């Protein structure tokens, strides 16, 4: 596929012109990725409406970010449920009450049940701080350092039942310097997350991105295992 075809403004379907893609965003913490979605929806780069922000933690600062932007918020405390399935069922019902086109996991620190993931199949995105398929799970930056890697990064992917194993959509990489630690790498990678995550949602909103079985399809072409490489895309602009 030609990465250059991903330039801004090339979408052609109705969502790209009149109808806004309706998003529900799930968070557990500060919500810096949420803020990137808010900013991109306000400036028109992302043709989307954030219908609601839902958190499993009442003290998540991202809720304040949402309130500041006039976005509806909900708190569903997972500790008040007897099981993961009971929590997920209530969460699913709250999400569906907003009739979203796309659900965004933005630092939502919960492993979701199979039923939940299957229900939102094809309209559930996540961002993971590694160059998947490397380092699914936690402590990704330290694991990259321990392995002596020369680079790390972030991956936006569709969510499937395999933890951090859904088809990749777009990746951004950063070089690892000799003086980097896990904290400095996290800061570097987060800056790229704020760019590539709304970009992936924009493609979905434009009707250019979909999940077909277990493959991410972009502009009617199957994406490679590692998705579109954002750094290469930038070099071609």
CB atoms under 10 Å from CB of 111, counted, come to 10
ω into 189 cis (within 30 of 0): no
Cα dist. 145→49, 152, 182, 214, 235 in Å? Answer: 38, 9, 7, 30, 26
Cα dist. 174→88, 180, 184, 196, 227 in Å? Answer: 34, 11, 11, 13, 16
- Catalytic: 128? yes
CB atoms under 10 Å from CB of 125, counted, come to 24
Cβ(197)–Cβ(156) under 8 Å?
Answer: yes
Residue 189: strand pairing partners: none
Query: What is the chain's alpha carbon radius of gyration, rounded to the nearest angstrom?
Result: 17
Q: Which two tokens stand for residue 126?
A: 């996540």
Task: Identify the DSSP state of 181.
Answer: -
Q: Which two tokens stand for residue 144?
A: 């990259």
Q: Which of 94, 119, 121, 128 is catalytic?
A: 128
Catalytic residues: 128
């Amino acid at each position: 596929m030609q990465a250059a075809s991903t330039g801004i403004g090339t979408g052609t379907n109705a969502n790209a012109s009149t109808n806004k893609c309706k998003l529900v965003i799930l968070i557990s913490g500060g919500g810096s990725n949420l803020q990137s979605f808010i900013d991109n929806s306000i400036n028109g780069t992302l043709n989307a409406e954030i219908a609601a922000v839902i958190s499993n933690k009442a003290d998540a600062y991202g809720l304040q970010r949402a309130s500041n932007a006039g976005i509806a918020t909900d708190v569903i405390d997972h500790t008040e449920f007897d099981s993961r399935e009971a929590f997920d069922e209530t969460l699913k019902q709250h999400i569906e009450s907003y009739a979203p086109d796309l659900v965004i996991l933005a630092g939502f620190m919960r492993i979701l049940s199979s039923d939940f993931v299957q229900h939102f199949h094809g309209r559930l995105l996540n961002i993971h701080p590694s160059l998947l398929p490397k380092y699914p799970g936690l402590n990704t930056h330290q694991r990259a350092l321990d392995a002596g890697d020369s680079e790390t990064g972030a991956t936006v992917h569709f969510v499937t039942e395999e933890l951090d194993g859904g088809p990749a959509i777009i990746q951004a990489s950063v070089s690892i310097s000799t003086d980097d630690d896990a904290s400095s790498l996290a800061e570097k990678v987060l800056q790229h997350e704020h760019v590539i995550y709304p970009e992936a949602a924009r493609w979905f909103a434009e009707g250019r991105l979909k999940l077909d079985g277990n493959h991410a399809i972009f502009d009617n072409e199957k994406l490679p295992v590692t998705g579109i490489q954002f750094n290469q895309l930038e070099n071609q602009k």
